[in-house]
Amino acid sequence: RLRDNILSELRAKGPLLSRQFEDKTRVKGSLGWGSWGDVSRMMFHLFLRGEVMVVGRQGKQKLYGLSENFLPSRVSKKEFSVEQVEYLSAQRSLRALGIANSSEISWHFFRNRYPNLKATIKQLVVDEKIIPVDITDGPVGKGERYIHSKDIALLDELETDKWEPRVSLLSPFDNLFCDRARTKLLFNFDYTIEIYTPPSKRKFGYYVLPILYGDKFIGRLDPLMDRKSGKLIIKAVYAETNAPRDKDTSREIRDSVKQLSEFLGAKEVVYSRKVPKYWQSYLH
């Protein structure tokens, strides 16, 4: 009944904010929907089933709509069997990871919800969708790892001059931080999102962006978008121990911050004094 009520409401009124469902829980009598906890769990269930999707936001509130009204026509409406979902999901997980073992594949995308991943991986190898690889050096432990067949060409490109390192500001929710232990192992970079950490206990900031330079993490940046003034305020920039200290790196960080400011629609970027001295030539 709760499911039917939510879907009927979305069908009749169109997209609704999550708090509008919350308000509905206060209605008493036969039209009551139950507790907000029930609504929240049902929305998540409908989201996992693909019946509803997040179609927008207002502030921090999610705007939910019926998937059938928002998915483009090119998206297949075909229903997949559990085996097909597992077969496709394992490949998506591996492609996001690059090279991974079965445990990493299981955790990354489907969060250990594969009924029979061992058999699926075996079939993917037989079908030559994924290829076993041996890693002879580096920080990784023993055990078989895999790469997707479509990514083999990327390994070859690493041996050429096609790949050029650049500075990128990453989201705290980037794929690289899905498995913190793996990221620390591969990059020696320990990252924790501190959104839910009390301000007094935060080490770096509320929404700190990791700074990736090529294949190394060189620092972190603590931004704040002030919508009223239209300013992107960089509250602090932190450098890792082995970060490059040249002006070119400082300039590339500045350029990445500028791209972020343009994306956010900021009129101006303002830096605080909490910037490493060797990067202050451009970050001021």
Contacts of 44-52 spanning 24+ positions with Cβ under 8 A: 45/3, 46/3, 46/6, 46/7, 51/7, 52/6, 52/7, 52/10
Tens digits of per-residue pLDDT, 11-60? 999 999 877 865 554 444 433 444 457 788 888 899 988 999 999 988 87
* Mean pLDDT of the region 96-118: 91
pLDDT of residue 213: 96
pLDDT of residue 178: 85
For residues 84 and 96, what is the distance between their CA atoms, to the nearest angstrom? Answer: 19
pLDDT of residue 109: 82
State the CB neighbour count (10 A cutoff) for residue 129.
Answer: 18
* Mean pLDDT of the region 145-164: 86
Q: Which tokens in the block code for residue 116? A: 């029979």
pLDDT of residue 22: 54
Q: Is the pLDDT assigned to residue 270 strictly greater than 70?
A: yes
Tens digits of per-residue pLDDT, 78-94? 889 999 999 999 999 99
pLDDT of residue 165: 86
| Arithmetic mean of pLDDT over the chain | 89
For residues 156 and 20, what is the distance between their CA atoms, to the nearest angstrom? Answer: 52
**Hey, what domains does the chain have and what are their CATH numbers?**
1-69 (1.10.10), 82-158 (1.10.10.10), 167-282 (3.40.630)
Higher pLDDT, 101 or 19: 101
* Mean pLDDT of the region 116-131: 97
* Strand arrangement, sheet containing 209-213: 167-169, 209-213, 216-226, 231-239, 268-271
For residues 261 and 104, what is the distance between their CA atoms, to the nearest angstrom? Answer: 34
For residues 106 and 96, what is the distance between their CA atoms, to the nearest angstrom? Answer: 12
Q: Which of 40-54, 129-143, 258-272 has the highest mean pLDDT?
A: 258-272
Region of poorest pLDDT, from 15-29, 90-104, 216-230: 15-29
Neighbouring-strand partners of residue 16: 64
Q: Is the pLDDT assigned to residue 212 strictly greater than 50?
A: yes
pLDDT of residue 27: 43
Q: Which of 219, 211, 198 is nearest to 260 (CA)?
A: 211
* Mean pLDDT of the region 242-254: 94
State the CB neighbour count (10 A cutoff) for residue 170.
Answer: 17
pLDDT of residue 203: 96
| Distant-in-sequence, close-in-space partners of 210: CB < 8 Å, separation ≥ 6 | 169, 170, 172, 174, 176, 177, 189, 191, 217, 219, 220
Which residue do the tokens 């970027």 mark? 269
For residues 83 and 117, what is the distance between their CA atoms, to the nearest angstrom? Answer: 10
Higher pLDDT, 4 or 261: 261
Q: What are phi and psi of 269, to 5 degrees?
A: -110, 130
DSSP-derived pairing of the beta strands 16-17 and 61-66: antiparallel
pLDDT of residue 184: 93
pTM of the model: 0.78
For residues 87 and 81, what is the distance between their CA atoms, to the nearest angstrom? Answer: 10
pLDDT of residue 30: 39
Region of poorest pLDDT, from 21-35, 106-120, 263-277: 21-35
* Mean pLDDT of the region 206-219: 96
pLDDT of residue 268: 96
- Which DSSP string corresponds to 43-106? HHHHHHHTSEEEEEEETTEEEEEEHHHHS-TTS------HHHHHHHHHHHHHHHHSEE-HHHHH
